[in-house]
Amino acid sequence: MTDIADLTAVALAEAIRTRTVSPVEAVEAALARIAAGADLNAFMAIPAARARAEARAAEARLKAGEPARPLEGIPFSVKDLTLTEGVETSQGSALFAGTIPRADAVAVARARAAGAILIGKTTTPEFGHKPFTEGPHFGRTLNPRSRAHTCGGSSGGAAVAVATGMGPLALGTDGGGSIRIPASCCGVVGLKATLGAIPNLQAPDLFGANSYVGPMARTVADTRLLFEAIAGPDRRDPYGQSVPGPGPRLAAGDRPRLALLMRCGNLLDPEVEDAVDAAMRRAEGLGFVVEPIELDLAALEPAFLVFLRSLLLARLGRAAAATPEKLDPTLLATIEAGRAYSAADLAEAQFARTATFEAVQSILARFDAIASPTLSAPALPVGLDPLGRIAIDGRDAGTIRGAWYPYTYPFNLTGHPAISIPCGRSKDSLPIGLQLVAAWHHDRYLLDLAAALEEDGAGICAPV
């Protein structure tokens, strides 16, 4: 069973299709791996009995001669922020402990319709409010690469799950980098697709949406497999309406133009710079054209905080006042900070969002994609204050959001698709991520670029 748990989703799908591995074996292997790695604390809920029943039903269909669906029998996990019919969705919080949704989120329903089998809900800080996957409701999720360092967040449980073979596929969410941050920290792949490409109906304000549901896996091919199963229009999502055609693809002989954004108004760890620079040299060896650009994304942090804090205040302000003992102190502080903003502040944040979108559009009119570090430094040590300041390369770099992940949250606001792929390791063997960003609805082209640049044979994406 151990070997089955280490298969990629693509390999497992083929093995199930050809009847060399059964869905029952695939689910049992994933459940065994979850049990073996229980100390990593990656899961909030594990519906094992239901998963086994669905695996037996899938095996019966295959034995009856029915064709295998794209994700037939493949175990997958879902972040605890995302609704799962019949399986507890607590939002990582004691406030919603025991909440059982009556229906799946769109992405979950589509994955299950394609044959995937839900094996568990993965950990998240309360309501995804911080980049470390820890909280009073469940404790701390550990990074399998180094338990002394954070696994990132807020989709930390999902990243740990796929990194360790606890199912080859996971659904995370990303409201400011929450798929890409833990992907970088844990050495896996995470995709934040174009706004609306994967419909997300859970946001209370669908028009001001900047939170996404997206796939995470150990390889780009696996990430693509899940993306293809869950992407597509939904008339209920204002950004999820039909788009003309599937978008461009990378063809043999193409020479993609990459805009290299090495710094964006931030300090940068030298090891991260070296790893990204090496990735760009490899890209040039593959025929890519790489040119450096300048863009100050770190300056967008105040606007991003207006959105984040105001939303949390609007959603949770009453609960924070009535039952503060049920909420993480850092969440309470974030909610309280939202009280300082005015309607004019929110409008000015929208202006900044628009200006950043225009700046990115201008760059992508001249380049096929933007390449950057995913994070300014590898995984941070555990125990840091998520609202505090950090040092990078021995110097005070500022607050964690503006200093550690200034490359990620701007693209939540602009809506462009962004993916993080492993591109090296630090001297302490901590994974380092490379982010690629493409034009709206060029998600498949972005996956093509990522596949071309994905490191092969370096052990970066191998299960822990």
CA distance linking residue 342 with residue 246, whole number of Å: 41
- Nearest CA-CA partner of 150 in 121, 186, 122, 96: 186
Report yes or no: 43 and 92 within 8 Å, Cβ to Cβ: no
C-alpha distances (whole Å) from 267 to each of 256, 300, 392, 398, 406 are: 28, 15, 7, 9, 10
Q: How far apart are CA 376 and CA 82, in angstroms?
A: 28
Catalytic position from the list 90, 93, 178, 310: 178
| Nearest of 316, 320, 296, 298 to residue 308 by alpha carbon | 316
pLDDT for position 461: 39
Q: Of 22, 79, 192, 420, which residue is the catalytic one?
A: 79
- Looking at residue 458, what is its pLDDT? 35
Q: What is the pLDDT of residue 464?
A: 52
**79 catalytic residue (yes or no):** yes
Q: Say if residue 170 is exposed, middle or buried (CB neighbours under 10 Å; 0-12, 13-18, 19+).
A: buried
Q: What is the pLDDT along the chain (464 residues), one digit of tens a residue?
A: 459 999 999 999 999 999 999 999 999 999 999 999 999 999 999 999 999 999 999 999 999 999 999 999 999 999 999 999 999 999 999 999 999 999 999 999 999 999 999 999 999 999 999 999 999 999 999 999 999 999 999 999 999 999 999 999 999 999 999 999 999 999 999 999 999 999 999 999 999 999 999 999 999 999 999 999 999 999 999 999 998 788 999 999 999 999 999 999 999 999 999 999 999 999 999 999 999 999 999 999 999 999 999 999 999 999 999 999 999 999 999 999 999 999 999 999 999 999 999 999 999 999 999 999 999 999 999 999 999 999 999 999 999 999 999 999 999 999 999 999 999 999 999 999 999 999 999 999 999 999 999 975 333 334 45
Q: CB burial class (10 A; 0-12, 13-18, 19+) of residue 358? A: exposed
Backbone phi and psi for residue 53, each to the nearest 5 degrees, phi listed first: -65, -40
What lies within 8 Å, CB to CB, of 269 at 6+ separation is 376, 377, 378, 392, 393, 426
Tally of CB atoms within 10 A around 98: 8
Cis link prior to 178 (omega < 30° from 0)?
no
Residue 77 a catalytic site member: no
Give the whole-angstrom CA distance, residue 436 versus residue 260. Answer: 9
Show the 3-state SS of the chain.
CHHHHCCCHHHHHHHHHCCCCCHHHHHHHHHHHHHHCHHHCCEEECCHHHHHHHHHHHHHHHHCCCCCCCCCCCEEEEECCCCCCCCCCCCCCHHHCCCCCCCCCHHHHHHHHCCCEEEEEECCCHHHCCCCCEECCCEECECCCCCCEECCCCCHHHHHHHHCCCCCEEEEEECCCCCHHHHHHHCCEEEECCCCCCCCCCCCCCCCCCCEEEEEECCHHHHHHHHHHHCCCCCCCCCCCCCCCCCCCCCCCCCCEEEECCCCCCCCCHHHHHHHHHHHHHHHHCCCEEEECCCCCHHHHHHHHHHHHHHHHHHHHHHHHHCHHHCCHHHHHHHHHHHHCCHHHHHHHHHHHHHHHHHHHHHHCCCCEEEEECCCCCCCECCCCCCCEEEECCEEEEEHHHHHCCCCHHHHHHCCCEEEEEEEECCCCCEEEEEEECCCCCHHHHHHHHHHHCCCCCCCCCCC
Q: Which amino acid is at 152?
A: G
pLDDT at 244: 77
Burial state string for 218-240 with b = 16 or more CB within 10 A and e = fewer than 16: bbbbbbbbbbbbbbeebeebebb
What separation in angstroms does the CA of 175 have from each of 102, 304, 421? 24, 10, 18
Rounded Cα distance, 176 and 74, in Å: 28
390 closest CA partner among 399, 381, 382: 399
Give the Cα separation of 311 and 323 in Å (integer).
18
- Are 163 and 157 a contacting pair, CB within 8 Å? no
pTM of the model: 0.97
Active site residue 154: yes
The Cα 172–Cα 298 span in angstroms is 24
**Cα 104 from Cα 86, distance rounded (Å):** 8
- How many CB atoms within 10 Å of residue 372? 29
> From the centroid of its chain, how far is CA 401?
16
